[in-house]
Amino acid sequence: MSSISTLVSQLVRPEILALNAYHVPVSAGMVKLDAMENPYLVPLSLREEIAAVVSGAAINRYPDPNPLALKRKIAELLQLKSGMSVLLGNGSDELIQLLAMAVNKPGTTLLSVEPSFVMYKMIATFLGMRYVGVPLAQDFSLDMSAMLAAIERDKPALIFLAYPNNPTGNAFSAADIKQIIAAAPGLVVVDEAYYAFAEGSFVPHLAEYPNLLVMRTFSKLGMAGLRLGFLVGSELWLNELEKLRLPYNVGVLPQLVAEKLLDHHDVLLAQAEQIKQDRSLLLQELSAIKGVKVYPSSANFLLLRVARAKEIFEGLKQRGVLIKNLHGSHPMLQDCLRVTVGTPEENRRFLEAFNETITQLA
């Protein structure tokens, strides 16, 4: 054993040895409001259609490395102009990795804002790439003078902006993002994981900027289990990334099921509408609780600041409700919690457990 641990510590890169593995808490039997999943299944009739497609699937064969019908559906949905294309990933996490690998020359920088989606920094670390995180302003908007100064100083080859942002929930000003794209010497990727719950999109602006790509995922729209993300933008960019993509990164079943679900995109969007309505109700109810600050959200979750985040998180857990404790993850998230908007029943159970917990703590 000890010789293995010696070998491990000799051979594995020190920055990897120093990492903690991405932690996924146990959630069996709990009201699961920690991971921005859509709480709804699609209607039974559609699930039966999916079952029929799956039962005929050629799982003995490798998947189609270039599933044109699925890509065409996505292109139509997004009304992509000619010259624009679609790159599929095993979740958008894989696309972040492909992008970073493609531009990671010695000394190049990946830049994002903080607090934001943690995978940007993690993947830079995995690849031994320099990472710069520019703090957001106090109200979680983009600190434009800091951003423009960092762009000037670090000349990042790759910038990620989550729009809306996770875990803060707000959508940055589109004018600010445009200014960043115009100032950036490298590629800017607008990560629209929460597009279904938000208003704006940069897809219509793709043709205006040679250094812009838009990334989306179906994870927050009811397909987290499928692992399917995609990048859209000029073929000239995507053709290079295609070379780096592992040949069979999206399996037979995700391809088939996603295609079927996209034929019923309206069903998923209707679920997103319901979630948006329930988001306003949840926001109202939480805002009425003394000592709770709720941040406005354009996503399917709410960020809260409370007096004692850890105790409230634990109290909820004891009552069978799992949310995300952000306290300790970033200085600007002190005493912050993040809760995914669930079904009305799940939201009720969350509020009940929340009220019980703060009463007990008082």
Compute CA distances 26 → 41, 55, 317, 321, 339, whole Å: 21, 31, 11, 11, 16
Residue 350 CB, nearest approach to ligand PLP (Å): 20
User: Is residue 162 within the footprint of ligand PLP (CB under 6 A)?
Assistant: yes
C-beta of 186 vs 229, nearer to ligand PLP: 229
Mask of contacts with ligand PLP, 225-254, x by CB under 6 A? Answer: ----x-------------------------
Peptide bond into 164 cis (omega under 30): yes
C-beta of 91 vs 254, nearer to ligand PLP: 91
Pairing of strands 293-294, 301-305: antiparallel
DSSP state of 210: T
| Number of amino acids touching ligand PLP (CB under 6 A) | 12
User: Is residue 357 within the footprint of ligand PLP (CB under 6 A)?
Assistant: no
Q: Give the range of 91-99, 101-109, 137-145, 246-254 binding ligand PLP by CB under 6 A.
A: 91-99
Q: Torsion over CA of 27, 31, 35 and 39, rounded to 10 degrees?
A: 130
Q: Give the range of 46-54, 89-97, 174-182, 337-345 binding ligand PLP by CB under 6 A.
A: 89-97
Which tokens in the block code for residue 281? 């109700």
Q: First and final CA of the chain: distance in angstroms? A: 49
- Residue indicated by tokens 């699937």: 57
Please give the Cα distance from 143 to 185 (Å, whole number). Answer: 19
Peptide bond into 115 cis (omega under 30): yes
Please give the Cα distance from 142 to 327 (Å, whole number). Answer: 21
Among 219, 249, 340, 347, binds ligand PLP (CB under 6 A): 219
Please give the Cα distance from 216 to 229 (Å, whole number). Answer: 6
Please give the Cα distance from 303 to 232 (Å, whole number). Answer: 29
C-beta of 301 vs 313, nearer to ligand PLP: 301
User: Is residue 117 within the footprint of ligand PLP (CB under 6 A)?
Assistant: yes
Compute CA distances 178 → 144, 183, 201, 273, whole Å: 11, 9, 12, 27
Among 134, 150, 193, 258, binds ligand PLP (CB under 6 A): 193
Q: Which residues pair with 159 in a beta bridge?
A: 111, 188
Among 38, 104, 166, 249, binds ligand PLP (CB under 6 A): 166
Mask of contacts with ligand PLP, 298-317, x by CB under 6 A? Answer: --------------------
User: Is residue 114 within the footprint of ligand PLP (CB under 6 A)?
Assistant: no
C-beta of 12 vs 269, nearer to ligand PLP: 269
Among 39, 67, 91, 233, binds ligand PLP (CB under 6 A): 91
User: Is residue 93 within the footprint of ligand PLP (CB under 6 A)?
Assistant: yes
Q: Which residues bind ligand PLP (CB under 6 A)?
A: 36, 91-93, 117, 162, 166, 191, 193, 217, 219, 229
